[in-house]
A and B are shown apart, each in its own frame.
Chain A
Amino acid sequence: MNESIADAIDVLPDYFAQHVLLSASALLLGVLLGLPLAVAVYRYPRVRWPILAIVRLIQTIPGLALLALFYPLLLGLSALTASLFGFGLPALGFLPTVLALTLYSLLPILQNSVTGLIGINADVIEAANAVGMTPTQRLLRVEAPLAAPVIMAGIRTAAVWTIGAATLSTPIGQRSLGNFIFTGLQTENWILVLLGCASAAALALITDQLLDLIQIGATRRDARRFIVGLMGLIIGTGASLTPLFSMHQNTYIIGAKNFSEQFILSELIAERLEGEGYLTQRKDGLGSAVAFRALASGDIDVYVDYSGTLWANVLERRDILSRDAMLTELARLLSERYGVVMLGSLGFENAYALAMRRDRALGLAVNTIEDLAPKAPKLKIGSDLEFLSRPEWFALKKDYALDFGMLRSYTPTFMYHALEDGDVDVISAFSSDGRIAANELLVLGDPKHSIPSYDAVILISPKRAEDIAIRRALTPLIGSISVEHMREANFMVDRPQNKASPKEAAHFLIDFLSAHP
């Protein structure tokens, strides 16, 4: 626990810098876009309704969904620019996050600016016209200064929103203070969650106060306050961005999906690369579907995925091959179609499995999924967030005619809690999950082999395909981790008490590796 907080403090400046860069860029773009739009809406009442309606509509999209939507949008756009101009756009990370946050910041800025402009006394406008101001002079000398307090209030609202919403950037591969929150939620490290929330809140509060100072300074013509606020904003932004300038260019970007095993394995890969003297950077908490595309497009350099997932989701194959045949075929097809290098299997499987509490299974006399099927309509199943939309679930449903009384989705950690508390009877577990052994769960047999094998494999991006260094650093990991060890490492992170950080769990695996080379 102590080490995980120390680790967190280590990366805090970087996360903070990323967060400030994201929010500041989005806010700046929001202002640059929002103010001219507001003037247009003010001058031409005919476009007022459609523009405000569109911006309000954007606002109703949940922040996370808006961020996620930019991923496919930019992928498409990237394909277009690649074919037209010969270069693609990054579909993950900074660009989609900033674009989504910009849209998010637009409403308060636009709405307040329009309100402020419309609210100006008609006599003042008439006077401005009558003394011979051109429309531009009227805007700059009269309308803008008079609407400024309301506009500034809108910018302040936008700033607070943007800083808050920026914490949602983690799942699309952009580091921010949200990484603390997402990782903390996953590993039940509430101190980490608190650290993420508190630092984002502090950032929002300070920004709001500085903008307030600028606003008061401007409206009361108090140059001192105005300058203090402005300098505070500029210096604060500059100072928090300094960690970014010390970042090196040739770093390996290691991806991870959003569960503990992935965090541990990305730490393990990082340890190996850093041990060889390379710099690394993490993109944690990627969505399962996003991770592979990020690798194929070179947004990340390396990550661990599972053969069954790649087989069904990436290659869209429904047939089931033997474990070895699938690995061989997978390596060939991934290389052929995507240029992705499958370095090899780590040695353990993390398959989807249905699991029950042992006492519950005994009471129902259930040992396999086949036994479960007739009783399913009276039972509740809890799953992780993606299982119910995955081909494995459809295959299970079809092969065993499964029809549960109720379906519920949780983050993996809460899913186990739900099973323990009896809120659900069956869960979609992972075979390498330490909690299976620790909670003495029963993994139900799959006599019809509906679920393919899920070997953990190291994937390297096409960009790094010819990179010998990364291969040399990671090849020793191939075939070196047994499912028992992985369960133990996972449990170190997932256990309710005396939790270890993913880094500590990775060290546990490395210690074991070096003891048994």
Chain B
Amino acid sequence: MATSPLIEIDKICKSFDGGRNFAIQDVTLTIDAGEFVAIVGSSGSGKTTALKTINSLIKPDSGEVRIEGKRISALDGPMLRRHIGYVFQGIGLFPHMRIGENIGIAPKLLGWPKREITARIIEVLELVGLPQGFISRFPDSLSGGERQRVAVARAIAARPRIVLMDEPFGALDAIARDAIGSIYRLLHDQLRLTTVMVTHDLQEAVLLADKIAVMKAGCVLGYDTPRNLISRQSNRDVAALMVMPSRVAARVRAVLDEDGVEKSDE
């Protein structure tokens, strides 16, 4: 990872009320290609605002975001977003479009040939583990878990390098959440994606992410691997946030240990 980072968030600030309160303040994060980064924090910590500056859904008041070294404020917003996958808790499937059309929307906006789009829709449906027959169905005939998989399929359809996720699986029950979470982590590795995921669920973050950014009141308190964050606990606030119920903590430790073994094997 000696090359320059894929995403650089550089000292960005954003206020939604003309400067009285700041949603985020001097947030700086660098994310390397292929990394899976989770931003954790309680609600109101500014994590979603930080995420949305990456695809320019929110424009920072000061500071800048660079992707592959290019300042995104100089790029065309819609064009940028067509190349960045986005999954959020609200899912937001277009109810008047069939599943196929929903998935193929970004490629269509990018002007891909029709045949290529169709092939790609079939391909990504398979990647997220949905049957081909879903292509001609409408969103309202799907279960919550199925819809969330379609949302993931839509996000990766245009072969983005970067996928942003905002509480992506928050609306699902714990079992479905674990299942689709691990499916996604596999996809992330397989497709060599760079993923930034916002979550308030520390367990999810620890299980899925390579690095975790801890946010509170608009500031990043810590940004490190899960292992380091938990073991070193350099900051009192971070430590407070990293407190987990013992059952969860045990599972997390197990995963981390396993991780450690794998890493020492490399």
Q: Are B78 and A133 in contact (CB under 8 A)?
A: yes
CB contact under 8 A between A131 and B57, given known A124-B92, A145-B96, A146-B96: no
Q: Give CA–CA (A452, B153) in the complex, Å.
A: 89
* Nearest CB of B to A219, in Å: 8
Q: List the A side residues contacting B78 at CB < 8 Å.
A: 132-134, 137
B133 at the A interface (CB under 8 A): no
One of B55, B79, B95, B110 near A130 (C-beta < 8 A): B55
B83-121: CB near A (< 8 Å → 1, else 0) gives 100101011111110000000011001100000000000
Q: Are A133 and B109 in contact (CB under 8 A)?
A: yes
Q: List the B side residues contacting A145 at CB < 8 Å.
A: 96
Measured CB to CB, the nearest residue on chain B to A148 is: B96
B14 at the A interface (CB under 8 A): no
Measured CB to CB, the nearest residue on chain B to A221 is: B96
Q: List the A side residues contacting B159 at CB < 8 Å.
A: none
Q: List the A side residues contacting B95 at CB < 8 Å.
A: 121, 124, 146
Q: Are A123 and B96 in contact (CB under 8 A)?
A: no
B142 at the A interface (CB under 8 A): no
Which residues of chain A (364-399) have a CB below 8 Å from chain B? none
Q: List the A side residues contacting B149 at CB < 8 Å.
A: none
A279 at the B interface (CB under 8 A): no
Q: Give CA–CA (A135, B28) in the complex, Å.
A: 30
Q: Are B106 and A132 in contact (CB under 8 A)?
A: yes
Q: Give CA–CA (A130, B54) in the complex, Å.
A: 11
Measured CB to CB, the nearest residue on chain B to A126 is: B92
Q: List the B side residues contacting A125 at CB < 8 Å.
A: 92
Measured CB to CB, the nearest residue on chain A to B96 is: A145
* Nearest CB of B to A332, in Å: 72
- The total of interchain contacts (Cβ-Cβ below 8 angstroms) comes to 60
Q: Are A122 and B109 in contact (CB under 8 A)?
A: no
A142 at the B interface (CB under 8 A): yes
A128 at the B interface (CB under 8 A): yes
Q: Give CA–CA (A124, B86) in the complex, Å.
A: 13
* Nearest CB of B to A252, in Å: 56
How many residues on the B side are at the interface (Cβ–Cβ under 8 A)? 22
Q: Are A130 and B94 in contact (CB under 8 A)?
A: no
CB contact under 8 A between A122 and B90, given known A130-B55, A131-B109, A146-B96: yes
Q: Are B81 and A132 in contact (CB under 8 A)?
A: yes
CB contact under 8 A between A127 and B93, given known A132-B78, A132-B80: yes
A242 at the B interface (CB under 8 A): no
Q: List the A side residues contacting B57 at CB < 8 Å.
A: 126, 129-130
Q: Are B90 and A126 in contact (CB under 8 A)?
A: yes
Q: Give CA–CA (A146, B91) in the complex, Å.
A: 17
B154 at the A interface (CB under 8 A): yes
One of A121, A122, A129, A131 near B154 (C-beta < 8 A): A131
B47 at the A interface (CB under 8 A): no
Q: List the A side residues contacting B110 at CB < 8 Å.
A: 132
B82 at the A interface (CB under 8 A): yes
Q: Are B109 and A130 in contact (CB under 8 A)?
A: no
Q: Are B55 and A142 in contact (CB under 8 A)?
A: no
One of A123, A129, A131 near B91 (C-beta < 8 A): A123
* Nearest CB of A to B117, in Å: 13
Q: List the B side residues contacting A123 at CB < 8 Å.
A: 88, 90-92
Measured CB to CB, the nearest residue on chain A to B80 is: A132
CB contact under 8 A between A130 and B105, given known A124-B94, A124-B95: no
Measured CB to CB, the nearest residue on chain B to A146 is: B96
One of A122, A127, A129 near B94 (C-beta < 8 A): A127
Q: List the A side residues contacting B90 at CB < 8 Å.
A: 122-123, 126-127
Given pairs A129-B57, A130-B81, A141-B94, 11 additional interface contacts (CB within 8 A) = A121-B95, A123-B90, A124-B93, A124-B95, A127-B90, A130-B88, A131-B105, A131-B109, A131-B154, A132-B82, A133-B109
B residues touching A (Cβ–Cβ < 8 Å)?
55, 57, 78-83, 86, 88, 90-96, 105-106, 109-110, 154
Top 8 A-B pairs, shortest CB-CB distance: A127-B92, A123-B90, A132-B82, A132-B81, A130-B86, A123-B92, A132-B78, A134-B78
A-B contact pairs, 12 of them (CB 8 A): A122-B90, A124-B94, A124-B95, A126-B88, A127-B88, A130-B92, A132-B78, A132-B80, A132-B81, A132-B82, A137-B109, A146-B96
